[in-house]
Structure 1
Amino acid sequence: MTDSMALTKDTRIALNDGNTIPIIGLGTYASPDVPKSLGEEATKIAIDLGYRHIDCAYIYGNEVQIGNAIREKIADGTVKREDIFYTGKLWCTFFSPELVRKGLEKSLQDLQLDYLDLFIMHWPFSLKVCEINPDKPFVYDDVDFCATWEVLEACKDAGLVKSIGVSNFNRKQLERLLSKPGLKYKPVCNQVECHVYLSQSKLQAYCNSNDIVLVAYSVLGSHRDKNWVDLTTPVLLEDLVLANVAAKYNRSPAEVAMRFILQKGIVVLAKSFTVARLKQNLGVFDFELKPEDMKTLEDLDKNLHYGPFKEMKQHPEYPFHDEY
């Protein structure tokens, strides 16, 4: 647990390489039907409101727009480049060692930035061909992520990225990376789905023991895109226990769901493109959940993945066959 009373929107968590990560970030993924310009506007508004951590990815298809927003806020004097913490992600078709740096440079080019603050492997598996379409097949590759990691280490040494990490890795995969002969840098973080129905306590304990920060996406459950999410799964924000806890604090279920993750010492990515919600999400720093309410919410854990990415279950590196 973090010292939760001291949490503010400006709180940063130390990373194992000497850098720090803001405890709350703006998530910028949007489904293909959402105009890219909305992400650009939301990013500008978020920076004006005090968000300093922007989470994006090559595969989201909007790094040009997010980069425009960041550079505009630097140009108008709202922030300096060093105030912004930008997370990018290496997509699975760039895992071959000769492609890793090209993948990073593509993001830098689209963003028009000189470096990224954090660059993470988006998944533990490699793809030859990928259509982000549940009706189209993924074509797998057998590149070992340990070979990918070595090139990421070189990209860090070259100053193209300040910190390197992973996403959607399970414990065994982290163990393999950490025990890799010649490992130069440990991953600073593991970005995973995490919410009151998937509290990730075992994975968090393992990561904590290895000085790896857990970063949470889908903290409010998930979008309900029928292509990717099983619509028979319960809607997290309609949970009655969560609603009762929220009523005690005169807060929304969303605010309490986010606060729960923050108080566990996990970095929260809050995705919203609406001004009112962007403001409301910062309200999570105005109250603190009591230990008994943290326990009540912890007991809601169902080990439920809203984003199981079942299309990838055939891949030998599919991470969710394991308990954590």
Structure 2
Amino acid sequence: MCDTTRLSLVVVITALLCSGVVDSMPTFTLGEYAGGPRLHNGRLDIAATVEWMNAVAANTFNVLLWDTTGDDYLDLVELAAALSANSTNGTLTTVWATLIPPTEAASRCSVPADSPLTPWNETTLFDQTLGLKGCEDYVAWGVALGKLATLYPAFAAANIDDFGTETNLVHHFNASYVRAIRGGLNSGGAHLIPTAYYADPSGDDKTFILERYPWVLGATDGLMLYFRNDKAGQDMCRQSAACTASQLPAGCHMPCLSGTCADASESSLLSELTDMHTLMDPVGQRLFLGEYFSGYSHCNPYGPSTAYNANVTSQALFGAARQLLDGLMVYTTRPPPRAACEGNATKSKDCTISVLFHEARR
């Protein structure tokens, strides 16, 4: 697709979208995060993104803002504008944004930019001394994204990646600061749903996150729990018969996210979700599951096994875990299946998403 006139893509989207405007988060989020189809210049292909999500019955696409130019933000606005301005017979109705935390912002980060699709200059909201072009001014991000949600209600939530690590919660975020971020978002009807882990195995304290940092419950609108088997521990996977040398590369410290080693941890998902839900539900917080479909750090480059992804996704969408969750976010975005899945969710990871997301919407 020619990209010389980016704004014309909104017109392209009009041909794909057909009835109703969604102004809030879906009852149950079926989402994919990061990546997605790209134009030859590296920008997000908006029309193809809508096609991809509709093909697999996803209702949410989460845009990762991680660059040095602000183009990722411009893509976010364009997608939010397209979904808000047009109605749809397809499934994609909602867009999120993920912000990069201070711990990951050394060479690139969530850079703001002045979008031609908003009547204000976003860059003027940011303290330019806080990171590259103000990317670490998270309160300003709350304000900017809250304004975006007011203008384009398809924008539903902001996530902060790795929010739940010990380094970020001890050194970079505190209750009053996070409440200020949430306040900006809430002013436009959007939500703050940062990433959390059951515990931080890389830190000094392995305590359950909501016991160690109870203030998180009063400062956010919910959490995205990325399941890594932190509660039961990595030895459960490392010591399993399926965890052969070929499945656990040297340097991998997360065997529960590596190939068939991960399979041993499937039974632990419900326990982690139950602990989270027990503390979150009474105070009205939303709980989402983040599921790794791609490689983690130095572990198996293909991520957990296809069987693992199919089983964890099935638990989240149809098992007891479904009653504890407000949605599922797949990381990273997969293309629609190239070959017919024939109803088999274990045929490929692409089929896992397509088959089970379609089944969940029936």
The CA distance in 1 between the partners of 2:35 and 2:51, in whole Å, is: 16
1:7 equivalent in structure 2 = none
1:105-254 aligned at under 5 Å gives the runs: 105=143, 114=152, 116-124=155-163, 142-159=171-188, 161-170=189-198, 172-179=208-215, 187-193=221-227, 196=263, 197=265, 199-210=268-279, 211=281, 212-220=285-293, 222-223=294-295, 228-231=297-300, 236-237=304-305, 242=307
Instruction: Work out which structure has the larger RCO, using CA pairs closer than 8 Å and 6 or more positions apart in sequence.
Output: 1
Shift of 1:108: 6.8
Cα displacement (A) at 1:204: 0.9
Q: State how far apart, in whole Å, the 2-side matches of 1:187 and 1:140 are.
A: 16
Aligned to 1:258: 313
Q: From 80, 83, 87, give the equivalent of 1:77.
A: 87
Matched with 2:58 is: 51
Q: Count how many residue pairs are aligned between Structure 1 and Structure 2.
A: 237
Deviations 1:262-308 (A, max 9, x none): 232243223435233667623115669xxxxxxxxxxxxxxxxxxxx
**Counterpart-to-counterpart distance in 1, 2:168 and 2:178:** 21
Change (3 A) 1:44 1:59: same
SS in 2 for 1:268: strand
* 1:272–1:63 Cα change, 3 Å: same
For the structure 1 residues 142 and 163, does the alpha-carbon distance in structure 2 shift closer, same or farther, using more than 3 Å as the test?
Answer: same
CA distance in 1, matches of 2:178, 2:37: 29
Write the distance in 1 (CA, Å) between the matches of 2:222 and 2:81: 26
The percent identity for this pair of structures is 9
User: How far has the Cα of 1:236 moved from its partner?
Assistant: 2.7
Match of 1:87 among 96, 102, 105: 96
CA RMSD of superposed structures (Å): 4.7
* Distance in 2 separating the partners of 1:178 and 1:141: 13
TM-score normalised by structure 2 residue count: 0.49
Alpha-carbon contact 1:42-1:274 (below 8 Å) kept: no
- Residue number in structure 1 paired with 2:337: 276
Supply the distance in 1 between the matched residues of 2:49 and 2:291 (Cα, whole angstroms): 18
- Residue 51 of structure 2 aligns with an amino acid whose one-letter code is I
Who is 2:30 aligned against?
24
- Give, in whole Å, the separation in 2 of the partners of 1:156 and 1:109: 8
Letter in 1 for 2:162: W
Q: Please give the alpha-carbon distance, in whole angstroms, between the structure 2 residues aligned to 1:177 and 1:141.
A: 9
Separation in structure 2 between the aligned mates of residue 66 and residue 163 of structure 1, nearest angstrom: 16
Task: Give the strand-richer structure, 1 or 2.
Answer: 1
Confirm or deny: 8 A CA contact 1:146 1:177 kept in the other structure: no
Contact 2:25 2:94 in 1 (8 A): no
Measured after TM superposition, the shift of residue 167 of structure 1 is 0.6
Report deviation, 1:188.
Answer: 1.9
One-letter code aligned to 1:121: I
The 2-side partners of 1:190 and 1:42 are apart by: 26
The one-character-per-residue Cα deviations of 1:86-112 (angstroms, maximum 9, x if unpaired) are: 22234323799x922222355578999
- Name 1:100's counterpart in structure 2: 138
* Partner amino acid, structure 2, of 1:282: S
Compare CA radii of gyration and give the structure with the larger one.
Answer: 2
SS at structure 2 position matched to 1:275: coil
Residue 140 (structure 1) shift: 11
8 Å Cα contact 1:26-1:46 kept in structure 2: no
Task: Give 3-state SS (helix, strand or coil) of 1:57's partner.
Answer: strand
Contact 1:89 1:122 in 2 (8 A): yes
AA partner of residue 53 (structure 1): T
Aligned equivalent of 2:75: 65
Cα distance, 1:126–1:256 mapped onto 2, change above 3 Å: closer
- Alpha-carbon offset, residue 24 of structure 1: 1.1
Cα distance in 2 for residues equivalent to 1:202 and 1:229: 27
CA contact (8 A) 1:118 1:164 kept: yes
Are residues 169 and 148 of structure 1, via their aligned partners in 2, closer, same or farther at CA, if it must alter by over 3 Å? Answer: farther
